[in-house]
Amino acid sequence: MELWTHAYSAPRGITKAAEAAEAGGWAGLSVVDSQNLSGDAFIALAMAATVTKRLKLQTGVTNPITRAAATLAAAAASVQSISKGRMVVGIGRGDSALAHLGRAPARLKPFERYLSHLQAYLSGAHVPFEELEDISMTAAPPMSELQLAEAPDDSHIAWIEQTQAGDRKVPVEVAATGPKVIALAARTSDRVMFALGAVPERLAWGIDIAKEARRAAGLDPDAIKFGAYVTCGCHPDIETARDLVRGGLSVQTRFGVMHGKTSGPLTESQKEVMHKLRDSYNMNLHTKAESEQANVLTPEFIDEYAIIGMPERIVEWVKDLEALGIDKLIMTGTRSGVSVDADKARDLLEREVLPQFGRA
């Protein structure tokens, strides 16, 4: 089991966060990619790569709208080179990054096409120009208007093919919550990263959907990895633990009801909380524990949907998820420097939880 922590893409502060994550024994560090809310993710990841030796690095998460697939592939491959093979692309349909551009998450068909192009670029393969449908003809007319003597026949990143093909390819992991996105992710990614909370029944449901989608597509259902984004508060005082995870959990909870419908195993009380959260969600207070949406979360919901409590309870919970076939957790709520309680929670995780899972 790989246990990862999470940070904002502060161009200068990221170096301290990365050094601390590596020293603390985390397997990896994911960073926010939301251009209106933080610095550039790839600058942050490159900076993190220069001050670490083994820490894996990831976008948590990027999206298919704010970066063209070729641009994203080149950025990821650049960090892969700097880090000597430690880069992972984490991608979803987009949330706050698109909300601050006045848009909702990407539609499914263009998202799947984008993922196929991204995987092609990262593998050193070629993408036909006619498939690049998302470049508006209004914004940029066809290259044929230039009447060039010679021109590229298709879209290809040769330097990636020369340096990062085969087992050196940057892996792509897709964040997924609903059944359609889970199925899409299972067909196109190297790992499905569920955003279903830390509820074993929901994660087992997601794994079943992913494997069935691969069977239906003629793919090996066992040739894909599974991980999850979870919110974690490790603290001896249960009320403090709940408060530590409220902000991050409000974001993850919303993914399960973003378009007004829930899916997967849920109790009636969980559904009620999720709908109340959706109705009260203030994107201007995204991730904030003091937001109205965060305070909709009941103690019972937090106890069921997040991983909170003393180290032994967290170890047991993580082992239960590992038994399902989950081999990676990105834990939000684990940032240090936020408060004395947050620092205590982080220290407990590093001293008493990470060593139980092969502290890196």
Average pLDDT, stretch 210-236? 98
CA terminus-to-terminus distance, the chain: 10
Supply the pLDDT for residue 336: 65
pLDDT band at 47 (very low <50, low <70, confident <90, very high): very high
The reply to whether 304 falls in a domain is no
Rounded Cα distance, 238 and 6, in Å: 22
Burial (CB count within 10 angstroms: exposed 0-12, middle 13-18, buried 19+), residue 239: exposed
Supply the pLDDT for residue 317: 98
Supply the pLDDT for residue 51: 98
**pLDDT exceeds cutoff 70 at 65:** yes
**pLDDT exceeds cutoff 90 at 337:** no
Helix (H), strand (E), coil (C) string for 218-245: CCCCCCCEEEEEEEEEECCCHHHHHHHH
The rounded percent of the chain whose pLDDT value lies above 90 is 91
**pLDDT exceeds cutoff 90 at 277:** yes
**pLDDT exceeds cutoff 90 at 157:** yes
Average pLDDT, stretch 122-143? 95
CATH number, domain with residue 106 = 3.20.20.30
Rounded Cα distance, 276 and 111, in Å: 29
pLDDT band at 96 (very low <50, low <70, confident <90, very high): very high
* pLDDT tens digits, one per residue of 284-297: 998 888 898 998 99
What number of residues does the chain have? 360
Q: Which domain holds residue 211?
A: 2-135+154-234+310-357
Query: Vertex 29, ends 80 and 176: CA angle to 5°?
Result: 90
* pLDDT tens digits, one per residue of 5-46: 999 999 999 999 999 999 999 999 999 999 999 999 999 999
Is the CB of residue 288 less than 8 Å from the CB of residue 324?
no
The reply to whether 276 falls in a domain is no
Is the CB of residue 129 less than 8 Å from the CB of residue 155?
yes
Strands 172-176 and 191-194 turn out to be parallel
**pLDDT exceeds cutoff 70 at 209:** yes
Supply the pLDDT for residue 81: 96
Dihedral sign computed on CA atoms, order 20, 24, 29, 32 = negative
From 337, 239, 237, 236, select the one nearest 297 (Cα to Cα).
239
The reply to whether 72 falls in a domain is yes
Q: What does DSSP assign to residue 62?
A: B
Is the CB of residue 95 less than 8 Å from the CB of residue 105?
yes
The reply to whether 70 falls in a domain is yes
Domain count of the chain?
A: 1
**pLDDT exceeds cutoff 70 at 78:** yes
Average pLDDT, stretch 107-111? 98
Considering the chain, what is the average pLDDT of its residues? Answer: 95
* pLDDT tens digits, one per residue of 183-202: 999 999 999 999 999 999 99
Rounded Cα distance, 24 and 55, in Å: 10
Burial (CB count within 10 angstroms: exposed 0-12, middle 13-18, buried 19+), residue 114: buried
The reply to whether 145 falls in a domain is no
The reply to whether 258 falls in a domain is no
* One-character DSSP codes across 75-135: HHHHHHHHHTS-EEEEE-S-SHHHHTTT--PPPHHHHHHHHHHHHHHHHT--B-GGG-TTS
Supply the pLDDT for residue 163: 86
The reply to whether 253 falls in a domain is no
Supply the pLDDT for residue 333: 81
The reply to whether 282 falls in a domain is no
**pLDDT exceeds cutoff 80 at 179:** yes
* pLDDT tens digits, one per residue of 238-268: 999 999 999 999 999 999 999 999 999 999 9
Supply the pLDDT for residue 360: 64
Rounded Cα distance, 140 and 72, in Å: 19
